[in-house]
Amino acid sequence: MPKLSQVGALYRYHVIDEMLKYGRKKTVNQIIKALGGENKITDKMIRNDFEAMRNLWGALIISDKLHRYTYEDTNFSIKSFPINENDAIMLELASITFQNLFTSNVTKKYNSAVSKVLRGYDSTSDDINENLKAEIARVKVIQPDISHSKIGYQWIEQIFDSIMKKNAIEIIYQKFGDEPKKKTISPYLLKEFRNHWYLIGYDHLSSKLTKVYALDRINDLEISEVKFWPDPFFNIDNYFKFSFGVFHHYNQVPIKIELEFYDKMAQQVLNHPLTANQKNQLSPNGKVLKVEIEVYESGEIIREILGYGASVKVISPIELVNKIVLINQKTISLYQ
């Protein structure tokens, strides 16, 4: 019997499904007892689960005069629910957007799972109609940005598995120009930025901080005997709140940067903000966009600003203005 803390909604749905399929009839009290939650699982919770199962899988649950519940369709089960043609197309689209992981075992397992779900909807199968084949083929006109290097991708599955199982890991990590170092990490998060993957985890040995590690700098990885450490100061939702890109500058205070974007670039930055906290003020003629963002000062944000060339001007802080001016002066000197 699972602990009450483990009896989440998805678990309850599958227990209910097992109890009601094949024409079986059960009372709400019998379902509650099966979940081992007489003191925690309520009558209202189970009835809400019935409604959720109807919304998620189309499970029509009915009751008889004795208040016993069962599926209206005795052949129904949430484990064998049918998918329609639109579902099949959306799964194909998901596969396309997942292309950057194609060389990893994650994708192989994902594709295997999709195949099981699609069953008769294999786009190469003769069992589906030509219209569906044509629609699936049309999805391929979407081409997400694909990494041309897969260095470090081999660690994704092991890290993901360690995160889910809360296992600490031992890695051999080598920064550019440094000697390889052994690190013990409690992994919390995998993050991608511009086709590069990063591990966010707690460093047990040196800094005693939660930091960012590039997967392409990992030379080896194995499970550690050290106990997993949940950093009480790590918040998965806020860790990158003031980061532009992937690096978290734990020893810095974020700064407010004021920028002006001009002409066509003004509309582009208005439509595609630099950060989630961006504040905008568009001029009446629509040609100048004043932007305020709050971020850690980093090489990433400086490179981003430089990338807009003459279409952007840094207004403040003055320290950043001076850095941008100096970089541009050095760039000009290369052509003199």
Q: Does 1.10.287 match the CATH number of domain 153-223?
A: no
In whole angstroms, give the CA distance from residue 75 to residue 186.
45
- Burial pattern 94-127, b for ≥16 Cβ within 10 A else e, equals ebeeeebbbebebbeebeeebeeebeebebeeee
How confident is the model over 134-165, as pLDDT tens digits? 555 555 566 666 677 778 888 988 898 899 88
At the top level of CATH, the class of 255-333 is: alpha beta
Give CATH 1.10.10.10 domain extents, the chain: 4-80
How confident is the model over 275-328, as pLDDT tens digits? 989 999 999 998 999 999 999 999 999 999 999 999 999 999 999 999 999 999
Residue appearing with tokens 């600003």: 305
| DSSP result, 308-319 | TGGGEEEEE-HH
Per-residue confidence at 256, pLDDT binned at 50, 70, 90? Answer: very high
How confident is the model over 32-63, as pLDDT tens digits? 988 887 677 888 889 989 998 888 888 899 99
- Residue 1, exposed/middle/buried by CB under 10 A (0-12, 13-18, 19+)? exposed
Q: How many CB atoms are closer than 10 A to CB 264?
A: 10
Q: What's residue 246's pLDDT?
A: 87
Cα–Cα distances (Å) from 286 to 258, 268, 276, in that order, read 18, 11, 22
Give CATH 3.30.70 domain extents, the chain: 255-333
| DSSP result, 137-174 | HHHTT------S--TTGGGHHHHHHHHHHT--EEEEE-
Q: Which of 232, 228, 244 is nearest to 320 (CA)?
A: 244
What is the rounded average pLDDT for all residues in the chain?
83
Cα–Cα distances (Å) from 217 to 123, 133, 161, 182, 331, in that order, read 38, 42, 19, 12, 29
How confident is the model over 92-132, as pLDDT tens digits? 666 656 666 655 566 556 555 555 555 444 444 444 455 55
| Residue pair 27/70 in contact by the 8 Å Cβ criterion | no
Q: Which two tokens mark 6?
A: 């483990």
Residue appearing with tokens 């591990």: 199
How confident is the model over 163-203, as pLDDT tens digits? 988 999 999 999 988 999 999 999 999 998 888 899 999 99
Query: Which residue would you say has higher pLDDT here, 99 or 226?
Result: 226
* pLDDT over 50 (residue 6): no
Q: What percent of the chain has pLDDT over 70?
A: 78
CATH, domain range 4-80: 1.10.10.10
In whole angstroms, give the CA distance from residue 328 to residue 332.
6
Q: Which two tokens mark 98?
A: 């997942």
In whole angstroms, give the CA distance from residue 131 to residue 170.
51
Give CATH 2.30.30 domain extents, the chain: 153-223
Q: What's residue 209's pLDDT?
A: 92
In whole angstroms, give the CA distance from residue 37 to residue 32.
6
